[in-house]
Structure formats: C-alpha cells, structure tokens
Structure 1
Amino acid sequence: MPSPSKKRRRRTLRQVARGVRRRARRMAGGARRIWRRSLQLRVVTSTMVISIAVVAVLGVFLMQQIISTTLETRELSAKSEAQSDRNTVLGYLTRPDADAADQPDDSGEALQTGGDSPLGQATRALAQRAGSASRYSVIIRNENRPGEFQATPEIDPISIPEKQREELFKKPAGEDSIWYDRLYYKGQSEPVQGMIIGTRLDTGETGLDDSYEIYHLVPLDKEEQTLSSVQQKLTAVGAGLVLLLAAIASLVTRQVVTPVRLTRQAAERLAAGRLDERLKVRGEDDLARLATSFNEMAANLALKIHQLEELSQVQRQFVSDVSHELRTPLTTVRMAADLLYDAREDFDPMAARSAELMQNQLNRFESMLADLLEISRYDAGAADLDVDSVDVRDVVLRAVADSEALAERHSTRFDLRLPSEPCMAEMDSRRVERILRNLLFNAIEHGEGREVVVSVGADRDAVAVAVRDHGVGLKPGEENMVFDRFWRADPSRARTIGGTGLGLAISREDAILHGGWLQAWGVPGEGSQFRLSLPRVSGTALRGSPLPLVPPEVEMRRTWRGHMTPMLLPALADGGRDVD
C-alpha cells in the first residue's frame, strides 16, 4: 500500500501537471485571439511561410545544381588523369624486364622489389605526378598475385571495399567504374569522403598473362568544404531574403491596415455614442473614398438618431402628459361610478349589469393608466428604489395571495417550493411584488389550467424566484421578445386577463433597477419558466443565480435522452414494449 508521502508526491505532481496544462491552454488561447484579431500578423506570417517554401525549393534546386556541376567537373578531371596514369602504368609493365622483376619465388610469394620493380617504378611515377595525397592517390593490385599491391604512401588499402572489386571484375578490361565512398589515410583517425575510379588493365597482348587493378582515389574534402560554405551562404541569403520579404509585407500591410484600424476605432467610438466622430481624408485612393463614405454615413446616422431622439422625446412627453391629464377626469368618473356601483341593487337588472361592467372597465383603465405612468417614469429616468431588508418568502406569499382569485377562475393550483430558512435581501418590496404578480398572472394566462410551480432559492450573494408553468411554452427566439413592450406571443389568441402588454416590460425594468436579472425559458408544448435573480445587498454586482433557468426535470430528461442507447429508442417510441 503506498505511503502517505508517496500519495502527497503524486498529488503534487498531478497538481503541477494540471497547472502546466492550464497555463498552456491560456497561452494557446491568447495566441489564437491575437491571430484572429490581427490582420497584419496573418498577412506577414503567410508571406513568411510562402517565402520560406519558395526559398527552400529554390535553394535545394540551386544546391543540387552546384553539387552536380562541381562533381561532374571533378569527375572529368579525375578521369582524364586516370587515363594518363593508366598509359604510364602500361608503359612500365610492358617493358621487357617486367616479367623477371615480379615473378613469385619457390614459396609462391611475390618478389617485393619495391621501387626497383616496374610496378613500384610506376607507382612512384604516379605519386610524383599527383604531387600530394590531397590531389589523388593510387593503388595498383595484381589479380594473379594475391597480396601483392603497390600504393602511394599516404593511402590505406582498406579504402577499396571488396564489393566494389567484385563489381569491377564483372566489367570488361579498360572500362571505368566510378563510385563515391570514404577514403582512409594513414595517420588520420577520421575518413574523408572521396571518389574512386577503378579500372582493370589487361597486359596479355604482350605475352604477359597478367591483369592489374588500378584505383585512383580522389579526396573531395575541399569540394565538400566549398559546398558547405556555399550552402551556408545560400542559407544566410535565403534567411535574409525571407526577413526582407516579411519586412516589405509588414510595411505594405501597415499602409492598408492602419487606415482600416483607424476606421474600426472610429466605428467603435461612434457605436459608443460619440456621434461627432469623423475620419481624416488623405488623397483620392480607395482608402480615402472609404473614409469619405464613413464620414457621410456617420453624419447621416447622427442626423437620424437626433431625429429619432426628438421623436421619442415627443412620444414620451405625450404619454406622460396624457397619462397625467387623464387622472383628473378619471377621478371624477371613478366617483360617479362608485356611487352607481354601490346603488346597483336599486336598479333594474340591465342598469345594474351596466354599473358592474363600468366598474370593471374603470379598474382596467386605472391599471393601464398606472402602467403608462410607470413606463413614462422609466423613460424619464425618474424611477427610484425604496430599499429595505425583507424576507423574499413573505413577498412571494403576498403575490400568490393576490393571484389566488384569478387562479381559481382558471382552475390553476400553485405549488410553492420555499426554503425553511429566511431569505433576507435588500429590495423594494413593492416593485418585487409587482414583478411576481406579473409573472404569476402570465403563468395563469398561458398555463392552460395546469399547475404553476413557484420556487425560491438563495445563496451567499443572491436570491432568486422562479415561476414555472406547463402551458403553451415559447418558440425559439421568443425568450427576449417576451419582454418587449406590447408584444404578444400569439396575436390570434384571445386575452383572458386585461392588460396593456406592458407588464413584463415594466417587470424587466424593475429587475434592472435592482441590479438583477429577469430571464425566460420556454419550449413549445413543455411550458415556460421565468426566473428573477436579485443581489442580497443592494448595489452589488450579480454574478450568478441560485436557481437554474432550465427546469431540473427538463434538463434531466435531456441528459437521459442523450445517454439512451439507440436500441432503447424504438422501445420507447413503441410504448415501452420490449424490442427483439
């Protein structure tokens, strides 16, 4: 069983690995954001990548051509020297005294006459012609005299591999065999890359049944150094060319990106409300025409916004004036209507019914007038809060009590899910209660007589109230439209509860005034849910809500469906019967 110290060490290593992964992800995310947002970076990077590819292809092609030309030149020179050396060797070997000089003795060993034999004299002559091993070396071997060879002093005979000797014997005498291999020199620990030209020289025409192998070993270390220097210079020139092209691309791109960036910044300031923002026009090119068009658009937009503001101000003033002006005659009418309503029992049935209808419509008219006055206060920025620390549960219970009569008429039952502990929060209880009444009335209106669930939740920073109905629901995209003024989900649907269509709009303004959220969720056929989230302390920022916006049973059903096996789906579609 692992010791506690090993467990702690493993845990520490896992934490370090997680931290490294998080930092790597953050760095990668930052790099991706910079890449997406910087047009100049993408252009310069693309130019560099394309330039590197082009320079690499051209560099490889040029290097191959230089290597091919250098080796061909060296090969032609070496073949010419080898042909001349073969003639020299042939002259020494065909002399009349050549046969006696290199005959084997009674033991079968070749007579090593050194420099006095024709073969030794030929080798010495070739060494003198070569001058030094850096130019070329020579190895001469006799096929019919095993172990006998002559070589210039510096070269090691192991430079000639047996495989190449076998290939040489497969060719006719006098035909060159050229290959590249490592050359070994005496006194040097490292081999040198070189070229070997091998030829068989047959002297049988003069009466001597002898066949000689002549190898010219040409070191290519100088050529290799030259080619390496050329490669380094080509690499340096290519890198400089890529950097130069990148600098040119950056300069050219800057000339285009800078005006575009200035246009973007001006557009952002214009969108932020600075309608006097304009661009400087320089020249007559496309960018100058873009700046001119932007300035004309900004001027027209400022004019239109000014006209709309004036019109909106007139409309708000009209609504406010009319709402206030209607209160005086409405008060008089209300007094007369109350007298008639109180005395309706003395009237005939027709007059009594008329008094009741007038009373109901006056109540509706007063509600509409109150909504118009409230929305005009928000438009004028005159709405304020009367904050007090209250228990959200009490506010919910008062709103539910006000909605009980309407719920009974629609055969709707409330399911209250309240916490056992107090949920204290700083709020304007009158406005919050009005929000909840609007949400409850809306749930009753569209709940089609089904149960309405009212949930309350709280955490350290916020409180929330969710009103869930199981009615017609909301179509995709209607979650935000439902808070627009005078908007209705289904215009053809008969309204059973009188109103102005401003209830949810006023509710959202009340929630925003508290620094909270009022959000909606809905699916056709599954009902809808409205969630009010408010901070516990007035004036603090709201970071989250203690209740989910999507009902838990719906979320659970979606998760369960996502994990169902494909074989189980036909069974559920077939009424839950077993599927073979």
Structure 2
Amino acid sequence: MTRAGRVRANGTRLVAAARRAVAAGRRRSTVLSELWRRSLQLRVVVSTLALGSAVVFVLGIVLQNQITGRLIAAKEEAAVQQTRAAVEIAERELVGISLDSEVVRNRLTSARNRLTSLSPDSSAGAFEPVLVNDDKGMARDQVSFAGDYDAVPVSLREFVLSDPRRTATQIYTVERQNSRITYLIVGAPVSALSTTLPLQLYMLYPLTAEQSTISTEQSTLVVGGLVLLLLLAGITNLVTRQVVLPVRRAARAAERFANGELDERMVVVGEDDVARLAQSYNEMAESIEHQIRQLEEFGQLQRRFTSDVSHELRTPLTTVRMAADVLHASRAQFPAGLSRSTELLVDELDRFESLLGDLLEISRLDAGVEDLVAEYADVRAIARRAVESVRVIARNVGTEIVLDLPEEEVTAEVESRRVERILRNLLANAIDHGEGRPVELRMAMSADAIAVTVRDHGVGLRPGEAELVFNRFWRADPSRNRQTGGTGLGLAISLEDARLHGGGLDAWGERGHGACFRLTLPRMARDEYGESPLPLPPEDYTADADVAIEAGSVDAGAEEVRS
C-alpha cells in the first residue's frame, strides 16, 4: 500500500472511531436524560447537591477571607510593634553617625547586626532588617544601605520617603534562588540624634508560616466541604427515599390495578401521611373494584338478555316470515294497496332478520366466544365477492364501483367470511353516503400486512366523527334516509372482526371531500405488523382529484365495475 493509501485508511479509521465515540456519547446522554426525567429521587439529590455546593463554596470563601484577614492583621500588628522597638534600637546604635559614606555604611551594618542578634517576637516571627540612608533626589549609587535593599519594593520606599512620620507596611513577593518568598515588609524612618541624615529601617517578615496555615485551612475547608456534601447527599437520598419509595409502590400498585389485577392493594404501615395515602388508595381501589364488578355483571346480564331475546324472537319471526311469504306469493290477487303492504312487510322482515343476526353476532363477540377459523386465501377474490354482493344496491343509486387490485396474488391467513362481511359493510356504507359518485376499493400489500381502502366522494365526516362511526347505532345525520336499510351495527361488527384477525379498521373523512375506511390485516393471523401499506388520508385527497372523480374519470389501470 502506498503512503497516500495508508494515510487515507488511517483517516477513515479515525473518522469511524470519532463517529463511534459521538454515537456512544449520544447514547449515554439519552440514558442520562431519560433517567433524569423518570427519577424524582435523582432530581432531588442533584438539586440539593447543587444548592449545597453553592452554599459550601460561598461559606468557604467567607471563612477563608476571614481567617486570612485575621492572620495577616495579627501578623501586621505584631510586626509593627516589633519594628518600632527595632527603630528605637537603631536610633541608639546610630547616634553621632557622620556624613562620610564609608562610615555610614559601616555604622548601618553594625546597627543591622545588632538588630539581627535580637530574639524575634514570638508573634511577629523571624525578620530580616534593612537599614538605608536614602532621600528624595539621591542617585542609586549614592544610597548607603545594610541588608537586601533590592527586596524592598519601590512603592514602599517612595511612601516612607514622602511621609517620614508614618510607618508603612506592604506584602511583597521576592525572587530568591529560584524560589519565591512572600514578605510582610514594614518601613519606618529612623531619627538618630546629632545627625540630619535621612535614615530608614525596613523589616522583612517572611509569611511562610502564615501561608502554610492558610494552605492547611484551605485543604481543611475543601475536605470538610466534600465530606459535608457527601453527608448531605446521603441524608437527602435517605429522606427522599422514604418519600419516593411509597410513591413508587403506589404507582406499581396502580399499574397492576389498571392492568386488571383488581385485588391489588397497598400495605398500610403506621399512621403518617404515607399511611393515610395508602389507606385512601385502598379505599378508592375497593370502590372502583366494586363498581367494575357491578358493571361487568350488568354487561353480562345485558349481553345475555340481548342474546336470549334474539334467540326467542327467531321462533315467532319464522312463523311471521312463513305467513308473509304466503301473502307475498299471492300479492297478485290482492288490491294494489294490499299488494304494496305485503311487499313492505317482506322488506321489513328482511331488515328485522338482519338486525337479529347482527345482535347475535355482536353478543358473541362481546362475550369473547367467537373463534377465528383462518385459512390462506386470495383477498382479491374476497373483495370481488363483496362487490358482487352490493351490486344491486349500487345499481339502484347509480353508483360505479372502481376496483384497484394488485396483479399478483394477495394471500393472507384470514377467515374469508369475516373479511367479506367487513368489505361488504364498508362498500354498503360508502354507497349509502356517496351521493351517487364513484366508490373506489383499493388494495395493497407489504411483507407483513395487507390493506384495503374503500373511498367515497360523498358528504364526508365532520371533525371528530371519524372516532364515532364505529359506535353502535351511531348515525352522522339522523334525518338522512338510508339507502341500504342497514341495522346500525355493521361498522361495529366490522371493527371487532378486524381486531379478531389482529388487525385494525380506521376511518377518515372531511366535509365535502368524502370519506375513506382502511382495513389493515396481518399476513399471518394475529401477527405483529408495521406500517399499513396504504396511507390515510388517501393519496388522492386534493381538490383537483375530487373534481376529476365528480366528472366520472377513473384511472386507466383500474378495474371498473358498472352496476
């Protein structure tokens, strides 16, 4: 491999590693954010730690400033007192000093040695004296001094020279032998008798001990603050846990209760607020369980009553049917009014029989006794049979049914009778509300699901009605005359049939743009499936498409069934 190739390969590996690191960081961030949202205990502990850290930090700064200020003030007070005592000694040592520079330097050195031999004050500590013969306007080479005069800052020299009656102090750091030493420097004028020489004494007190004390104090504050925060976190976690754990137990009990475990109760311990919460929850659960049991019993009685009444009505209905058939067969011998009455009687008996059949069917579905007898079938053939079953109804209202079916087989594990009933109900509903405009039945499939949509271009649905159309005996417009003579249970039964397959039935509609019902079924009965193969709202939901359909135009590839 060439060098350029190796560089590109290394660059690719680096980019991949960076992407993996970014992805890992995002996953960790997602986990932490999820934990932060879900855990009240974590939020309380972190918030308490944040506030506690701020309090400890402010308190540490205040304590450090107070301790440092007191140390420096005590050091400065002792240093000033010792400096004044040293000034008196220097004044005695420098009595009668002459103007000769060599004599001045020797006398200053002698006086400095005398000061150095003194025992330092215990409160002020060790010191380094510097005696200087200096005045304003004197050149640097004219200044006589004994000690490290260069360690004295210029600002302090100028202040002492400007006001020879006051003692001045300054903290200053001096570079010595690759080390930095901080001094408290006290400067004071020296008034020797029988001389007019301007003399100054500077006492350099090292702050090493004070710095060590401050460093120890800082370390103590940091360690104490960390220990305090850890104790605060532990105490907060313990206190929060005592509150959160009962809440979590209540949440778990509520979840199990919502999942159907109606005998789930909380343990009542003590007489505190949490115990009263558990007792209140148990009382609420007891009341809800009692009401649910009553509703279940009432529902069972209602279903049993509906089933029994439907069964009991079949015998007299059969007798009435036989008599009506005899009358209907002889209607040619009756007068015109009586003949029409026999026809109406037969029609209403047909509707009554359909209503009884639907009531029995929905009673069995409610009772959960219906079983799915599924087998592999071509759903296209089921759709064609459903279209044939509503041919007469469509012809009566002048509705065209447009089929858009795939060319290949659409096989699925379904119960043909139930799927055909679903499609028949959807087609009859679309014809009834389609205002004579074309009704489209479209089918599509994916790897795990099939979908069938029935689209009309009639009155449509108002907002919120798409969630009500599957309710039993619900009608969008009670004053509207039905064309199909339905029982009001067709869509409710269709929804239960779809759920029995493990699928779903959805509705969409808009006023003036018609409605569309979508049936989605898994390829394997009761299997999980992903997205439905057909969208809802339908793809042709545009004003132009509706105008084209009103004009009677259809797709060239669609199969048109004229009824």
- Quickly name the TM-score band, shorter chain normalised: 0.7 to 0.9
* Letter of the 1:447 counterpart: G
Q: Which residue of 2 aligns with 1:49?
A: 50
* Letter of the 1:96 counterpart: G
Q: Which residue of 2 aligns with 1:364?
A: 351
Question: Given the superposition, is the C-alpha separation of residues 28 and 553 from structure 1 closer, same or farther in structure 2, using an over 3 Å criterion?
Answer: farther
Q: Which residue of 2 aligns with 1:150?
A: 145
Q: Which residue of 2 aligns with 1:398?
A: 385
Structure 1 position 330, deviation (Å):
2.1
Q: Which residue of 2 aligns with 1:381?
A: 368
SS of the residue corresponding to residue 428 of structure 2 reads helix
Structure 1 position 280, deviation (Å):
2.6
Matches within 5 A, 1:291-310: 291-310=278-297
Q: Which has the higher contact order (CA 8 A, sep 6+)?
A: 2
**Residues 240-278 of structure 1: CA distance to partner in whole angstroms, max 9, x if unpaired?**
222222222222222222222222222222222222222
Q: Which residue of 2 aligns with 1:278?
A: 265
Unaligned regions of 5+ residues in structure 2, if any?
545-563
Work out the CA distance in 1 between the residues paired with 2:153 and 2:12: 60
Q: Which residue of 2 aligns with 1:160?
A: 152
* Letter of the 2:68 counterpart: I
Structure 1 position 494, deviation (Å):
4.5
Structure 1 position 39, deviation (Å):
2.5
* Letter of the 2:152 counterpart: I
CA RMSD of aligned residues (A): 3.1
Structure 1 position 322, deviation (Å):
1.4
Question: Given the superposition, is the C-alpha separation of residues 304 and 221 from structure 1 closer, same or farther in structure 2, using an over 3 Å criterion?
Answer: same
Structure 1 position 59, deviation (Å):
1.8
Question: Given the superposition, is the C-alpha separation of residues 385 and 199 from structure 1 closer, same or farther in structure 2, using an over 3 Å criterion?
Answer: same
**Residues 380-403 of structure 1: CA distance to partner in whole angstroms, max 9, x if unpaired?**
222122222222222222223333
1:76 aligns with 2:77: yes
Q: Which residue of 1 aligns with 2:453?
A: 466
Matches within 5 A, 1:65-214: 65-93=66-94, 95-100=95-100, 102=101, 111=102, 117-129=106-118, 135-143=126-134, 144=138, 146-147=140-141, 148-152=143-147, 157-162=149-154, 164-166=156-158, 169=161, 171-185=162-176, 188-201=177-190, 206-208=194-196, 210-214=197-201
Question: Given the superposition, is the C-alpha separation of residues 199 and 113 from structure 1 closer, same or farther in structure 2, using an over 3 Å criterion?
Answer: closer
Q: Is the 8 A contact 2:422 2:497 kept in 1?
A: yes
Work out the CA distance in 1 between the residues paired with 2:542 and 2:367: 41
Work out the CA distance in 1 between the residues paired with 2:87 and 2:211: 27
1:543 aligns with 2:530: yes
Return 512-521 or 158-167, whichever deviates more: 158-167
Q: Is the 8 A contact 1:479 1:522 kept in 2?
A: yes
Q: 1:324 aligns with which of 292, 295, 311?
A: 311
Q: Is the 8 A contact 2:382 2:419 kept in 1?
A: yes
SS of the residue corresponding to residue 214 of structure 1 reads strand
Question: Given the superposition, is the C-alpha separation of residues 195 and 207 from structure 1 closer, same or farther in structure 2, using an over 3 Å criterion?
Answer: closer
Give the total of aligned pairs.
536
Return 68-77 or 389-398, whichever deviates more: 389-398
Question: Given the superposition, is the C-alpha separation of residues 173 and 284 from structure 1 closer, same or farther in structure 2, using an over 3 Å criterion?
Answer: same
Q: Which residue of 1 aligns with 2:550?
A: none
Work out the CA distance in 2 between the residues paired with 1:130 and 1:235: 37
Q: Is the 8 A contact 2:351 2:487 kept in 1?
A: no
Work out the CA distance in 2 between the residues paired with 1:476 and 1:190: 84
* Letter of the 1:297 counterpart: M
SS of the residue corresponding to residue 129 of structure 1 reads coil
Return 235-244 or 424-433, whichever deviates more: 235-244
* Letter of the 2:37 counterpart: R
Q: Which residue of 2 aligns with 1:353?
A: 340
Work out the CA distance in 1 between the residues paired with 2:363 and 2:232: 63
1:514 aligns with 2:501: yes
Work out the CA distance in 2 between the residues paired with 1:388 and 1:19: 48
SS of the residue corresponding to residue 96 of structure 1 reads coil
Q: Which residue of 2 aligns with 1:238?
A: 225
Question: Given the superposition, is the C-alpha separation of residues 522 and 165 from structure 1 closer, same or farther in structure 2, using an over 3 Å criterion?
Answer: farther
Work out the CA distance in 2 between the residues paired with 1:474 and 1:391: 32
SS of the residue corresponding to residue 215 of structure 1 reads strand
Report the TM-score, using the length of structure 2 for normalisation: 0.86
Question: Given the superposition, is the C-alpha separation of residues 434 and 73 from structure 1 closer, same or farther in structure 2, using an over 3 Å criterion?
Answer: same
**Residues 476-506 of structure 1: CA distance to partner in whole angstroms, max 9, x if unpaired?**
4444333222233344544443223221111
